[in-house]
Chain A
Amino acid sequence: METSSPVAITGLGAVCGAGLTVEAIWNAIQSGKSAIAPITQWDASRWPRRQAAEVTGVSNATLVPDRKYHKFLSRTDLFGLYAADAALQQSGLIAYRDRMDAASAPRFNDRSGVFVGSGGCVYQNSYDFFPALTAASGDLRAFGRHIESCVNPMWLLTRLPNNVLCYTGIRHSFKGTNACITNQCVGGALAIAEAAAAIRSCEADRAVATGHDAPIEPESLWYYHQAGLLSQDLLRPFDCSRTGTIFGEGAASLVLENEPDARGRQARVHGELLGSGCSTEATGIVAVRPDGDGLSRAIKLALADANLPPDRVGVVVAHGNGTVASDASEAMAIRRVFGKNPPPVTAFKWAVGHTIAASGALDVVLALTALKQGVVPGIATLECLDPQLAPLPVSREPQSPRSDIALVLNRGFGGMNVALVVRAPGGSTST
C-alpha cells in the first residue's frame, strides 16, 4: 500500500466533562458551554487553582457495566475502555466478525490492532502505599513488613499504563499489532498516527486507536500551578488575557480500517486519516521554542504525508492550551505554514479542558464532526485576540470550513509536536 493512501475511519467514541457521547460534547461546544467548573474530586476550596473539566455524574458502571473491571482498573482506564467500546460499537466490526465462520475469525483477530495513548495520575497512583508507611511510622524496614497487610496484592496490575491496551484486546479479541504510547500530551495523537501507519504498511487490516487520561489530582494541580501553567478561571486560547491551561479528563477513540475492507463490508465511513507528522524541539521537558519551529515542521510533515499543499486545508483545530508561550508559538507556526491566507482556526480546550493524553484523539473526533457539520465552532472564551498573535483567523462566532479537510495540532512535554490531517465529507446533519 502506498504511503499516501487514506485510511478509513469507521467508528468514533468519546467521553469528557462536556458529555458522554460525541454528539453531547459537540452540542455543548456549539452552544458555547464549557465543562470547566470547581473541582469536586476533593475539597479544593482553599486552593489557589480549583477548576477542572471533570466527568461528573457518571458511575463506573455506566462507563464499563461489567463490575469485575472496577476492582482492578482506575478511572482513566474506564474512560479509555468506554471510548473504545463506543467506537467499536459504532463501527459494526464486532457484529461483522461474530457472523464469520469459525475458521476466519482467528485471522481477523490477528489482523486487528490496538493503539493507545495512555495517561493517568502520576502521583496519586502510589498513595495506596500510604497506609503501610503510616503503620510503619515512616520506618523503611517496618514498611516492608507492612505492605502485605496494607496494600492490594494486585496493585501493580491496577496501575499498569497499558491496561486499556490489554483490556481492549481481551474484551474484543483484538490480537494484532499494538502499542501503548506514554508520551504525555501527544500520546493519543500518536496512537492514531501509528494505527494508520500500521494499516498502510499492511501490518494490520484495522485498528482501534484510543487516547485516555485522568490527570486531575492534587499533586499535579499543585506542580502545574507552581510552574505558572494554570489559569484561575477560564481557558482562553489565543486571548490577550490568557493565563494558562486547565485540566480536563476523559478519552476518545477511533476505529480505522483499510478502505477496501471498509467498502467491502459496506461500513459507514465517518472520514479518512490522510496523514501525520511528528517532531520534537529537543528543548528538554517543559520548554517550547518561541518560534514554533517543531510544530511547523510537524505540520509540513503531515501535509507531505497526505500529499496536500497548505491551501487544501479547510480548518485548523489548534492545540490552543491557553498558556502564554504555547499559544504564541503555535500562532507563529500556523503563520509560517499558511502565510497570509490561513483557513479558519479554532480550538476546543476552552470547553473540555486539557485532557492531556486524550487531547489529540478528542480533537480529531471533534474535527471530523466539525467537517461533517460544515461548521467551525467559535472559541466561546475569546474576548480579544492577543495583538502579538494577529493576524490569526480565530473567532467567538462560528465560521465555515473552506474544504472537507482539517489539520489537527497537538503538543506536549518533551518539546513534542504532532499534526494530523483528516477528511470528512460535509453536509451531514447527524453525528
Chain B
Amino acid sequence: MNARRRVAITGIGMVTPVGCNAPTTWASLLAGRSGVGPIRQFDASGFPVRIGAEVKAVPSEATLCDPRLLKFASRSHRFALAAAGEALADAGIRPLADNSHRWGLAVGAGMLGVTFSEFQAVHAFCVPDGEFNPDGLLNPGYPADPVAFCRSQTNAGLGLLARQFGITGYATSVHTACASGGQALGTALKVIRRGLADFMLAGGYDSMLHPIGLSAFCLLGALSTDNDTPEQASRPFDATRNGFVLGEGAGFLVLEEWQAARARGARIYAELAGDGNSLSSYRITDSHPSGDGPIQAMQQALADAQASVESADYVNAHGTSTLMNDRSECAALRAVMGGHIGKVAVSSTKSCMGHLISAAGAVEAGICALAIRDSIAPVNANLVQTDPDCDLNIVRGQSRPMRIRVAMSNSFGFGGSNSCLVFRQPDGAGEP
C-alpha cells in the first residue's frame, strides 16, 4: 500500500480581472467574458500598449486584514490578503494557536515591489540634471518612508500573510516569472507530503500593471498591441495571435492532508495529486519548439499522480497567446498525450483574464479544481482561426460540460522553469 500522504484542496480564493472572488471569476470564465480593456489605473496613453486585464473591484480595506497591517500592503499584497482570506473562509478552517506551527505558506510573489511614485521621488532628488547622484537621498526633504521600505521587501507579502492569518510553520516565497504560482503550489504539495505541515495556504499574487511593469513587457515585444480591440487581444492558439495581455490578481488554495480533511468532513474540490517540475535550459524566453522541458514536467506530474495519460480529460494550458509558447506547448502536449491527444480537452483561460504572471499558476489551479467540481471545461475564448500547429481538441465557442477525472495545469516561465500540476476528482470512497 502506498503510504504517501495525499493532499486535498478544501478552499479556493481569487481576485482577478474577471471577478473579485472565486465564484464571480468562475462564472465569468464559464461565460467567456473578457476582463481586458483600456488601462485605467494610470495614464497609459503614451505607451505602445494601452490595454490590460485589471482587477476592477479592488478588495474593500475593511475586510482585508488587521488595519495596522494595511499600510504595509501594496496593491498585489491586498489581492493576496483578500484571496487568501476567501480561501480560508471557503475551507471553513483557520490556524489556531495550538496548531499554527502545522500550517505553512508557499507563495509565488511578483517581482517589482517599488511603486512608481516612490521611483519618481528618488528621481526628483537624485537625478536633478540627468546624472544619478545618490547624495540626493541625504536631502532632509527626501521622504524615506519606513513603511515603503517594509512594503518593498521581496518577502513582504509572505510576512503579511503569516502575520494576518497566524501561520508559524514552513514558509517560502518563490519567483520564476510565469511559473511562480504553479511552483508555489508544487512546493506546498511536497511540504505536506514530507510531513512538514498538515495544512498549507498556497498561492500567487502579482500586479505589474504600472508604468515600469508595463514598460518592461512592452520593451520585450511580448504584448499584444491590439489596443483598439482589447477583448479579442488575448487569443491563445489562434493563427493571428500576437502576444499576451498583462493582467493582475491573486489566487490561493487551502491544501490539507487528505485523511484529516475527510475526517473533519471538509468539502474537497479535488485532490492535488501530482507535481512536475523541470528546467528547459534552452533560452531565457521560450522552450525548444519540440516542447522539450514542458514535456518532462507534464510526464513527471502524471507519473507523480499515478495517473495515466488516458485518464487526463482536461488541460488548462499555459496558453499565453504568444507565437512561441502556444506552438511549443502544443508540441509538448502531443508528445505527452500520444494517441489520446484528440480526446483531451484543452483551453487557456488567459483568453479571458490575461496573464497574471506570478499569480497565473495559482489562479489556474483553482480553476482546475472548480472544473472538476462542476464537470465543465471553461471555454478558450477568441479562437476564430486555429493555428494548424495548435490544432488540438480546444474548447472553442462555449464552455463544455464534461466529466473531468484528471485535470492538468501548465505554467511555463521566462527563465525556463516549467510547472505542471495534476488534479484528480475525489471519489466517494476517497481511496487512491
**Which residues of A approach B to under 8 Å, CB–CB?**
3, 42-44, 46-47, 72, 109-110, 114, 118-119, 122-123, 126-127, 129-134, 138, 140-145, 147-148, 151-157, 159-163, 165-167, 169-170, 173-184, 190, 194, 197, 201, 203, 218-219, 222-223, 226-227, 278-286, 294, 297, 301, 412-416
Against A, the Cβ 8 Å flags (1 = close, 0 = not) of B188-211 are 001001111000000000000001
Q: In the complex the two chains form, is B216's CB within 8 Å of A156's CB?
A: yes
The closest CB in chain A to the CB of B195 belongs to A3
Residue B221, interface by CB 8 Å: yes
CA distance A163 to B284 in the complex (A): 8
The closest CB in chain A to the CB of B169 belongs to A279
A201 to chain B, nearest CB (A): 7
Among A138, A143, A166, find the residue whose CB has the most chain B CB atoms closer than 10 A: A166
B166 to chain A, nearest CB (A): 6
Nearest 3 Cβ contacts at the A-B interface: A144-B46, A144-B47, A414-B159
Q: In the complex the two chains form, is B174's CB within 8 Å of A282's CB?
A: no
The closest CB in chain B to the CB of A276 belongs to B196
The closest CB in chain A to the CB of B118 belongs to A123
User: Which residues on A sit within 8 Å (CB–CB) of B176?
Assistant: 162, 165, 178-180
User: Which residues on A sit within 8 Å (CB–CB) of B306?
Assistant: none
CA distance A175 to B277 in the complex (A): 9
Identify which of B47, B122, B285, B415 contacts A219 (C-beta below 8 A): B122
Indicate whether A222 sits within 8 Å of B190 (C-beta atoms), given known contacts A122-B154, A281-B168. Answer: no
Residue B327, interface by CB 8 Å: no
Q: In the complex the two chains form, is A130's CB within 8 Å of B123's CB?
A: yes
Q: In the complex the two chains form, is A179's CB within 8 Å of B69's CB?
A: no
CA distance A192 to B44 in the complex (A): 43
Q: In the complex the two chains form, is B173's CB within 8 Å of A181's CB?
A: yes
Indicate whether A413 sits within 8 Å of B146 (C-beta atoms), given known contacts A162-B177, A166-B415. Answer: no
Q: In the complex the two chains form, is A174's CB within 8 Å of B212's CB?
A: no
Indicate whether A129 sits within 8 Å of B155 (C-beta atoms), given known contacts A157-B284, A179-B187, A282-B163. Answer: no
Indicate whether A129 sits within 8 Å of B119 (C-beta atoms), given known contacts A140-B46, A178-B277, A285-B159. Answer: yes
Indicate whether A47 sits within 8 Å of B154 (C-beta atoms), given known contacts A157-B285, A178-B417. Answer: no
Identify which of A42, A130, A145, A179 contacts B46 (C-beta below 8 A): A145
User: Which residues on B sit within 8 Å (CB–CB) of A126?
Assistant: 112, 114, 119, 212
User: Which residues on A sit within 8 Å (CB–CB) of B122?
Assistant: 123, 127, 219
Against A, the Cβ 8 Å flags (1 = close, 0 = not) of B159-183 are 1101100111111111111000001
Q: List 23 A-B contacts (CB under 8 A).
A: A3-B194, A43-B134, A122-B113, A126-B112, A133-B120, A140-B211, A142-B46, A144-B44, A147-B219, A156-B220, A157-B220, A162-B414, A167-B284, A175-B296, A181-B174, A182-B173, A183-B154, A183-B155, A219-B137, A222-B138, A226-B149, A283-B163, A414-B155
Q: In the complex the two chains form, is B46's CB within 8 Å of A141's CB?
A: yes
Residue B58, interface by CB 8 Å: no
**16 additional contacts (CB under 8 A) given A131-B130, A179-B174, A413-B159:** A46-B138, A130-B123, A134-B123, A144-B215, A147-B218, A154-B220, A162-B176, A165-B279, A170-B282, A178-B279, A181-B174, A278-B196, A282-B163, A294-B168, A413-B156, A414-B156
Against A, the Cβ 8 Å flags (1 = close, 0 = not) of B397-432 are 000000000000000011111000000000000000
Q: In the complex the two chains form, is B119's CB within 8 Å of A415's CB?
A: no
Q: In the complex the two chains form, is B280's CB within 8 Å of A175's CB?
A: yes
A103 to chain B, nearest CB (A): 16
Residue B9, interface by CB 8 Å: no
Q: In the complex the two chains form, is A414's CB within 8 Å of B171's CB?
A: yes
Identify which of B42, B112, B144, B296 contacts A223 (C-beta below 8 A): B144
Q: In the complex the two chains form, is A148's CB within 8 Å of B219's CB?
A: yes
Q: In the complex the two chains form, is B162's CB within 8 Å of A282's CB?
A: yes
B113 to chain A, nearest CB (A): 7
A168 to chain B, nearest CB (A): 9
CA distance A183 to B220 in the complex (A): 27
Q: In the complex the two chains form, is B119's CB within 8 Å of A140's CB?
A: no
Q: In the complex the two chains form, is A184's CB within 8 Å of B153's CB?
A: yes
The closest CB in chain B to the CB of A110 belongs to B296
Residue B152, interface by CB 8 Å: yes
Residue B252, interface by CB 8 Å: no
B188 to chain A, nearest CB (A): 12
The closest CB in chain A to the CB of B221 belongs to A153
A139 to chain B, nearest CB (A): 8
User: Which residues on B sit within 8 Å (CB–CB) of A179?
Assistant: 174, 176, 183, 187, 277
User: Which residues on B sit within 8 Å (CB–CB) of A177?
Assistant: 277-278
Identify which of B113, B127, B154, B162 contacts A280 (C-beta below 8 A): B162
Q: In the complex the two chains form, is B215's CB within 8 Å of A147's CB?
A: yes
Q: In the complex the two chains form, is B154's CB within 8 Å of A184's CB?
A: yes
User: Which residues on B sit within 8 Å (CB–CB) of A47?
Assistant: 135, 138
Q: In the complex the two chains form, is B279's CB within 8 Å of A155's CB?
A: no
Against A, the Cβ 8 Å flags (1 = close, 0 = not) of B269-285 are 00000000111111111
CA distance A299 to B249 in the complex (A): 36
Indicate whether A143 sits within 8 Å of B46 (C-beta atoms), given known contacts A161-B175, A181-B174. Answer: yes
User: Which residues on A sit within 8 Å (CB–CB) of B127?
Assistant: 130, 133-134
Residue B101, interface by CB 8 Å: yes
